[in-house]
Chain A
Amino acid sequence: MKVSYFETGRYVPPPDLPREWPVPAGSYDPETGAEAYRGMVERARFVEELGFDWVSVSEHHYSPRILTPSPVVSAAYLAARVDKIKIALLGPIVPVSNPIRVAEELAMLDTMAPGRVVVGLLRGTTNEYLSYDLNPKESRERTDEGMELILKAWTEPQPFGWQGRYFQYRTVSIWPRPQCQPHPPTYALGTSAEAGEFAARHRLGIGLSYGSFELMAKSARYYRERCAEYGWEPGPDDIIYRANMILADTDDAAEEALARRDKQAPFPVRPGLREALLQSDTTRNIAGERRPANVGGVLPISFCGGPDRIVEQLRRCREEVGAGIVDLSLQDPGTGDVNGMMCALELFGKKVLPRIGDM
């Protein structure tokens, strides 16, 4: 099993920070932000030394919970400062992006850090659409079309035009092309039937996140069935499972941390806005089974315990979900407990990592 550390640009907020999303830009503190980014590099180097396989970055807007509105900028910054560890962009939010720009920037990164870039293409969560004023109802179709266009821009050797539903270009011919041919390792991120279908059709991996093993297994099964229909069989490295983990020296200490955990999302949206977002985003599903969108809900802890129990839980994840890569947040992003996280990372590196490599 491979392990990825999910780096979120930990901004340690003062206690009096407003708690509603979007968080007022005026309450941002430049020095705290600079420290968050210095910490990114320290943590990436630290997990590289510990033997983690990947460090992952994501795209989130308008709050200090995850301080990385541009995963490409994060990845470029890290790529120049670490040597071996792979950098996974999980990932650009496709429906709010210019797909040609995404294809170009990822091809640049793949050329600057050859063999070290991993790409996840993402629909994103519903409140993120407010950031760039996207109609949530269009997010599914814009994602599917945008992903298709990114792959075409990477692989088509002749200049071409694109006559889409949501995107139109008359002239596309990107330079540089990706260093990895035909393109860097790429995952469609999502539990939906649409993500599974897209990944299967294009022989991509899939990235699942935050659901129970049982639900994620259902999604992974759907993906594998679709791959079989397209005549191929994905391997363990084709399935990523992103989750939160609380790791402590003992099971009891981890359980105590779990009990202390905030039951509310760190920066929730207002109830009226939450309702409006839920009503405008009704196509979320797990392997075709309808689910409400997650709008500012608190994300579950999927792994909790001391090292022995965590190893056992990872083994279950490997067997039940089929994931060969876990992308982990140790302790909660947004809590500001950076020291606690560094301790947990070290513990993971020393007591868990050596026991899961051949899982």
Chain B
Amino acid sequence: MQTPNPLFREGWVEADGFRIRYMEAGQGKPLIHLHGASGMRLTRGYDLLSREFRVIAFEMPGFGSSPENTRTKTMAELAGSMAAAARQLGINKFGLIGTSFGGKVALWLSVQEPERVEALVLEAPAAIRPVGSEPPSGSPQAMARGFYAHPERYDPLPEPDPAIQAKMRALVARLRGPDRDTDLENRLKGLAMPVLVLFGTLDCAIPPEMGRFYKQLLPNCHLVFVYDAGHAISTERPEAFAEVTVDFLNRHEAFVVNRAETVIHP
């Protein structure tokens, strides 16, 4: 499914009755990544994050090469498993970043264990969706059109393994929940941690206008549009993605204060 990334090394952790694969790179404060509905993808944007942080990207149970997951019944349960996996790795407090489907898992995790999440980044989150929306599906070409603003710039996505795809589809369909999840949304109003929500201006999987709902619900939320990116922000604008993510994770809400120097000739 995924091009091997030489920066990241593979590891395994037993947590909540699952054997969970993860990829790890970098030093420093821990940053946990939860992937989207099509599984773990370590894009160039995450390479850049690993220069600043100890990035741990989990493969959530039931995705990729892991066995089929018929046990997890809700997003909240999946979030609990991932929080347990982090604890099992000895990581108590961490930055958290969730992509698309993983954004919703990350929000549930933050709701359940807010004291452990120092700051939360949501990359094109799929927790709040227009009514009737469906995750990108179909041929690799159709998937690419759903993910990318500029599919012509990338190698064609590989033909997926039908067994893996069927297993993940069933899991996502069971867990993704309603387009507007009032239970989750009510809990977001009490979430005090700093949250950064990123949307590509050309996201055609989740309209970037969904960003305003997070801003309305979350008391300490920053919404940033990444120009000319589609749903796959960290692939299409990796430097822009990493710059704002690193700045936010390091400085939290102070990241709105510009520190770039503009002196030309001192």
Contact = CB atoms under 8 A, between A and B. Distances in A.
Interface in A45-67: none
Contacts of A156: 209, 212
Nearest to B209: A156
Interface string B241-261: 101100000000001111000
A157 B212 CA distance: 7
A300 interface: no
Contacts of B201: 148, 152
Interface stretch (B78-86, B103-111, B221-229): B221-229
A164 interface: yes
Nearest to B243: A163
Contacts of B244: 161, 163
A170 interface: yes
A215 B223 CA distance: 43
Contacts of A171: 256
B216 interface: yes
Contacts of B227: 145, 148-149, 162-165, 167
Given A152-B201, A163-B240, A170-B258, A158 B225 contact: no
Contacts of A159: 215, 223
Contacts of A232: none
A230 interface: no
B212 A163 contact: no
A156 B214 CA distance: 13
Interface residues of B, number: 23
A145 B226 CA distance: 11
A170 B215 contact: no
A170 B225 contact: no
Given A148-B201, A163-B240, A163-B243, A158 B223 contact: yes
Nearest to A144: B228
Contacts of B209: 156
Contacts of A148: 201, 227
Contacts of B54: none
Contacts of A163: 198, 224-227, 237, 240-241, 243-244
B225 A152 contact: yes
Given A156-B212, A163-B244, A170 B224 contact: yes
A160 interface: yes
A158 B255 contact: no
Please indicate which of the listed interface residues B227, B240, B257 has the most CB atoms of chain A within 10 Å of its own CB: B227
Q: Bin chain A's interface residue count.
A: 10 to 19
Given A149-B227, A163-B225, A158 B212 contact: yes
Interface string B18-54: 0000000000000000000000000000000000000
- Majority-rule SS of A interface residues: mixed
B211 interface: yes
A161 B212 contact: no
A161 B211 contact: no
A161 B216 contact: no
Contacts of B211: 158, 160
A203 to B, nearest CB: 15
Contact of B256 (A145, A157, A161): A161
A288 to B, nearest CB: 16
A170 B258 CA distance: 8
Contacts of A167: 227
A142 to B, nearest CB: 11
B47 to A, nearest CB: 18
Contact of A161 (B222, B228, B237, B257): B222
A165 B243 CA distance: 12
B201 to A, nearest CB: 6
Interface in A182-232: none
A161 to B, nearest CB: 4
B173 to A, nearest CB: 29
Interface in A243-268: none
Contacts of A160: 211, 215, 223-225
B228 A162 contact: no
Interface of B: 198, 201, 209, 211-212, 215-216, 222-228, 237, 240-241, 243-244, 255-258
Given A162-B227, A163-B244, A170-B255, 20 more contacts: A145-B228, A148-B201, A152-B225, A156-B212, A158-B211, A158-B215, A159-B215, A160-B211, A160-B224, A161-B222, A161-B223, A162-B224, A162-B225, A163-B226, A163-B227, A163-B243, A165-B228, A165-B240, A167-B227, A171-B256
19 contacts: A148-B227, A158-B212, A158-B216, A160-B211, A160-B215, A161-B222, A161-B224, A161-B256, A162-B224, A162-B225, A162-B227, A163-B198, A163-B226, A163-B241, A163-B243, A164-B227, A164-B240, A170-B224, A171-B256
Interface of A: 145, 148-149, 152, 156-165, 167, 170-171
**Which 9 A-B pairs have CB atoms at the shortest separation, nearest pair first?**
A161-B224, A170-B256, A164-B227, A158-B215, A158-B212, A163-B226, A163-B240, A160-B223, A163-B244
